[in-house]
Amino acid sequence: MEVDVLIVGAGPAGSTTARFCAGKDLGVLLIDRRKEIGYPVQCGEFLPDASEMYTMFPRSMDLEEQFTIDPALIAAEIDHLDLISPRGRVYRLGFKGFTLDRRSFDKHLAKLAVEAGARLETGESFLGIKDGVARTTMGDVKAKVIVGADGPNSKTARSAGLQNPDVRYPAITCQADGSFEPVVRMYFGTLAPGGYGWVIPKRKGANVGIGFNPGLLKDRPSELFRRFIDRLGMTYSDVAMGFVPQSGPVIDTVKGNVILVGDAAGHVMATNGGGVPLAMIAGRIAGKSIRAHLKDGAPLAEYERRWRYVMDKPLSDALWTRRLGDLFFPSDRRTEFAMRVLGKRGLARAIRCTKVFYVF
């Protein structure tokens, strides 16, 4: 089979890339190994609103186009984050965002791609690249451009001789029952060493989970998760595990006719683990860059230049802060101390991908 663009992975990165490059004049094939797009949900489902994204990524443009979310896909509107220290001290920060219904949200993004003209095939896997041709469970696919939007353990990247994010933190999530005020709660300390535990409210129940540095782990991940849930005293279902890139963007996101987008490219904020908005921003840049490449002969490498212009500084500042945090996180006492020293202002800077001290 021959197509102009093969996109591997119909998560936020792949579907958005497909949406912005597809059209009657370009044949775009979007494949995902999942039978149902967006399920299981391996996500906390939190999305900052457009105003927060402009604050964190001031060079981004036209975010309203992507971050004006259909109310049917929103499970709660959020005004505040509570950052909770190991001893229970609460630092409340104003922060606007939404809890998504990600099972529906990912389907919605895939539908926009199909409406733009992409062909979507679910239950189909990318297997590798041989002699420049992509091998898939649908057979060989010859494509002018191949997009790796297949998550943090991207087979597309490895097949093309590109890197995967070299640090990936495990994260476990579930859907909990109960009613919750519209505040995201983030719990720090050895309950989730090097990361945090979260309660992200929904209209009914909450998304609850933990993400942590596996190098600091003393127990099994399942034990850590059970202890966190027990402490909150919740009943829950739909437990799922995934990995969150934590080493910043990979060195190269373009090689030959292959490009990487979203988690595959390490497009994740290291201080909060958020990757959905960046997958969408990078996907839009990727889709437009591919179109300019195939229709007007622009170099594919323009994609890398353009996403770095928007994201490089905030993502490297976030990485710097996370590495600083690694000095404190192994101990509850030091975490408590660091949170007191930073106070609300420093913590707000960290969450928003700005260096916590005024250092350049």
Binding site for ligand FAD (CB under 6 A): 8-14, 31-34, 42-47, 125-126, 149-151, 155, 171, 173, 209, 242-244, 262-264, 268, 273-277, 279
Closest distance between ligand FAD and the C-beta of residue 286, in Å?
11
Contact 151, 49 (CB under 8 A): no
Nearer to ligand FAD, 248 or 277 (CB): 277
**Beta carbon of residue 222, minimum distance to ligand FAD (angstroms, whole number):** 14
CB of residue 271 vs ligand FAD: minimum separation in angstroms? 12
Environment class of residue 112 by beta-carbon count within 10 Å: exposed (0-12), middle (13-18) or buried (19+)? middle
Dihedral angle over CA of 48, 254, 155, 146, nearest 10: 100
Cis peptide preceding 214, ω within 30 of 0: no
In the complex, the smallest distance separating the C-beta of residue 100 from ligand FAD, rounded to whole angstroms, is 8
Query: How many Cα atoms are found within 13 Å in the side-chain-facing hemisphere of 169?
Result: 27
Of 279 and 315, which has the nearer Cβ to ligand FAD? 279
Which residue is closest to ligand FAD by CB?
275
**Which token pair is 310?**
């928007």
Taking the least distance from each CB to ligand FAD, the nearer of 5 and 336 is: 5
Residues 6+ apart with CB under 8 A from 90: 82, 83, 84
Nearer to ligand FAD, 145 or 244 (CB): 244
Q: Pick the closer one to ligand FAD by CB: 116 or 336.
A: 116
Q: What is the CA radius of gyration of the chain?
A: 20
Tokens 């590109």 found at:
162
CB of 267 to ligand FAD, least distance (A): 7
